[in-house]
Structures are given as C-alpha cells and as structure tokens.
C-alpha cells in the first residue's frame, strides 16, 4: 500500500497557510515534505500535526530546510524531496514573505524589492522548473487522480493594489502569469496547474496588522465577514490534488470571502 501513497512538497509548511495545506494533505493520505526557512521548531510541530491526522500507514513527513531568499536557495530542494520519497506527485509553492517595512511606493528600496522577488517569484519559478523536468521525464507515473499537480499560492494582492507594498503586489501578480505559463507548458504532460489567491488570512504574516483589518472585515469589505483560515486554503488545495477539478488548468481561484469582487 505504501508504494501507492502520493507525495507532495509544500514550501513554507512550518506555519500559517502552508501548515494548513500540509495537514489537509496528510488527512487525505498523502506523504508531505514539510519545507521551512529557518523555523525548524515550527516545522516539527507541523510534522506532529500531520502525523496525528494521517490516514494511511506508511505516510512520511520529512522536514527540509532551505532559505529561498538566498541566491540559488531553491537549488536542491526538489532533489532532496526526490531523495526522500523517490518521486514527486505535486508541488505547492506556498512560501512567501511580506513587503519588508511596508514602505510607500516613493520610499521603496532596491534591497526590499530583491528580497521579495527572490522568495515570492524567483524561487517558485525554479522549483516549478525542477519539478516539471521530473514530471516530463516520468510520464504515466502520477499517483494523483488526473496526473501531477502544480499549485501557486499567490494573493488577492495580485489584483488589489496597495501603495505601501508594491513589491509584494507585483510579485503576486507575476505568480498569476507563472501559473498560466506552466499550465500551457505542462498540459500535454499530464500536469494541471492552478493559482490560489487567498484574501486576508489569520496567520503570523498578518498578526502585526490585525487591528487594521478587524474593522475592515467587520464592515463588510470582506463580504463573508470573517478572517480566512489556513484550513480554507488547505481544503482548496486538497480538492485540487484529489482530482475534484479535473478539467481545470491555468486558472486563478480566489479564496477570499468575496474581497476581490468589484462593487458599486
Ligand atoms: N496571511 C495572509 O493574509 C496571506 C494572504 C494572501 C496570500 N498569502 C500568501 O500565502 C503564503 C503563506 O503566507 P502565511 O500567511 O502563511 O505566512 P507566514 O505565516 O508568515 O509563513 C510563511 C512561511 O513561509 C516560509 N518562508 C518565509 N520566508 C522564507 C524564506 N526566505 N525561505 C524559506 N521559507 C520562507 C516560512 O518559513 P519559517 O517558518 O521557517 O520562517 C513560513 O513557513 C505566502 O506566499 C503569502 O504571501 C498570505
């Protein structure tokens, strides 16, 4: 049985949305490589949470650390996952960082730009490339219904502009095109690609701006009037991976309680 377990790499799985994804995939019977940047303790906690809900004997939850902000920090991450599992059925590009200092567009710095683009844009591209090469070389071996899966976790900020974090918004808008490029390139190789766009989510990333967002949410700017939770993203990714969107690729799917909907 163990040899039929699908295997997934989730980046930034130590905390927040990535952890929510890892736990849902564990619950669905998958082995999950839990990537983290520097917080190994949180990654261990995630592993324990995954093990607690695992559905199949033989599921594995290895921890893999790599700083995606370092030049070439992504190099070797797919290879390490392959050496753990011997295979890869899906990649969830979730790791990301906020705009350092949230500086106004007039004050934004080259240093912040380079950091955000390295983690949020460059690393997902090269991780996708490394995964794609393996998928192209291993036709017909996918263990997930409908084939291999590539996921990008971008943001409602791909669509909604903020003047105090232009670098972040631009990095997330870039992920939308990235998903389309890979969707086209991989469609003939039994690989589906989707971009999920979370809205205002309750994680460490937003802990410092909770007081700003609480009234915005309560006032109805988020029509569903609640914070998004890691499980909201986890369950969406799980649905995609288990084959519930069989004719979907290259699509952007909002997970934001209606925040992105233009209104009058
Ligand atoms: N929270 C929101 O409201 C929201 C909304 C829309 C989209 N998103 C996006 O969703 C994704 C997850 O966000 P989150 O809210 O869960 O963030 P979070 O709680 O701050 O967690 C970030 C995760 O990414 C990892 N990470 C950050 N920088 C890294 C680096 N340089 N190298 C390697 N790993 C790094 C962290 O690893 P460590 O634990 O080791 O630091 C952690 O696992 C991000 O792409 C974010 O942009 C978030």
* Beta bridge mates, 7: 31
Residue 2: the pLDDT is 44
Q: Of the residues 95, 120, 176, 254, which should be mutated to test ligand 1's pocket, given the most ligand atoms within 8 Å of the CB?
A: 95
Question: Separation of 58 CA from ligand 1 center, angstroms?
Answer: 28
| Residue 188 CB neighbours (<10 A) | 9
Q: What's the CA-to-centroid distance between 98 and ligand 1, angstroms?
A: 8
What's this model's pTM, rounded to 2 decimal places? 0.98
Element (H, E) at 8: strand 7-10
Does ligand 1 have an atom closer than 6 angstroms to the CB of 10? no
Q: If you take atom 44 of ligand 1, which residue's CA is the nearest one?
A: 96
Mean pLDDT by 10 residues, the chain (264 residues): 81 98 98 98 98 96 97 92 97 98 97 98 98 98 98 98 98 98 98 98 96 97 98 98 98 98 96
Q: What is the pLDDT of residue 3?
A: 54
Sketch out the chain's domains with CATH numbers. 2-255 (3.40.50.720)
Angle value at C-alpha 232, between 178 and 6, nearest 5 degrees = 65
Atom of ligand 1 nearest to the CA of 96: 45
Distance 12 CA to ligand 1 centre (A): 6
Q: Where are the alpha helices (DSSP H) in the chain?
A: 16-27, 40-53, 77-85, 110-117, 123-137, 166-186, 204-207, 210-218, 230-241
pLDDT at 169: 98
Is residue 65 packed enough to be buried (19+ CB in 10 Å), middle (13-18) or exposed (0-12)? middle
For residue 244, give the 3-state DSSP assignment. coil
Cα-to-centroid distance, 94 and ligand 1 (Å): 7
pLDDT the model gives residue 1: 37
CA dist 155 and 169 (Å) reads: 8
The per-residue pLDDT for 149 is 99
Q: Looking at the DSSP assignment, which residues form a beta bridge with residue 198? A: 255
Query: What order of strands is seen across the sheet that includes strand 31-36?
Result: 63-65, 31-36, 7-10, 90-93, 148-153, 191-198, 251-255
Phi then psi dihedrals of residue 170, to 5 deg: -65, -40
């Amino acid at each position: 049985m163990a040899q039929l377990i699908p295997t997934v790499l989730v980046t930034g799985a130590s905390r927040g949305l990535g952890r929510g994804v890892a736990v849902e995939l564990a619950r669905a019977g998958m082995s999950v490589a839990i990537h983290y940047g520097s917080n190994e303790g949180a990654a261990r906690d995630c592993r324990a949470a995954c093990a607690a809900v695992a559905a199949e004997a033989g599921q594995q939850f290895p921890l893999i650390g790599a700083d995606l902000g370092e030049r070439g920090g992504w190099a070797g991450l797919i290879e390490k996952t392959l050496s753990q599992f011997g295979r890869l059925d899906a990649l969830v590009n979730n790791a990301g960082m906020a705009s350092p200092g949230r500086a106004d567009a007039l004050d934004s710095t080259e240093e912040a730009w380079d950091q955000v683009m390295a983690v949020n844009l460059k690393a997902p591209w090269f991780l996708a490339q490394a995964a794609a090469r393996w998928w192209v070389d291993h036709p017909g071996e996918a263990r997930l219904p409908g084939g291999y899966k590539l996921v990008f976790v971008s943001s409602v900020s791909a669509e909604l502009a903020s003047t105090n974090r232009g670098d972040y918004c631009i990095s997330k808008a870039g992920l939308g095109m990235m998903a389309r490029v890979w969707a086209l390139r991989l469609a003939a190789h039994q690989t589906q690609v989707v971009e999920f766009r979370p809205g205002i989510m309750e994680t460490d990333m937003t802990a410092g701006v909770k007081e700003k967002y609480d009234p915005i949410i309560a006032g109805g700017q988020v029509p569903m009037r609640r914070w998004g939770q890691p499980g909201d993203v986890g369950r969406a990714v799980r649905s995609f991976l288990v084959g519930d969107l069989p004719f979907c690729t290259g699509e952007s799917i909002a997970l934001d309680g209606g925040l992105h909907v233009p209104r009058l």
